[in-house]
Amino acid sequence: MKLSQNQLWRKENKFYRIVRLERLAVDYKELDPMDPDKGDHYSVSKKEFCRLIKNGEVVDQI
């Protein structure tokens, strides 16, 4: 799985945008499909983020 900054992932009904990508850490935003400007920011390890999006898919736009 290749991660990059500003990549948008979808898993079930939730969307996740990678805000900042580092070697061992990921800052991401969980987006609301009805209002993509709103959402909560999270900082996790890269391993945790990969577990979160497992079986998810990359999407172009909401």
Q: Which residues contact 11 (CB under 8 A, 6 or more apart)?
A: 52, 53, 54, 55, 56, 57
Q: Is residue 45 part of a domain?
A: yes
Give the total number of structural domains in the chain: 1
User: pTM for this one?
Assistant: 0.87
Q: Would you give per-residue pLDDT tens digits along the chain (62 residues)?
A: 789 999 999 999 899 999 999 999 999 999 988 887 889 999 999 999 999 999 999 998 76
Q: Is residue 12 part of a domain?
A: yes
Q: Which residues form the domain of 36? A: 8-59
Q: Is residue 1 part of a domain?
A: no
Q: Is residue 3 part of a domain?
A: no
Q: Give residue-wise pLDDT tens across range 40-55.
A: 999 999 999 999 999 9
Q: Which residues contact 37 (CB under 8 A, 6 or more apart)?
A: none
Length of the chain: 62
Q: Is residue 2 part of a domain?
A: no
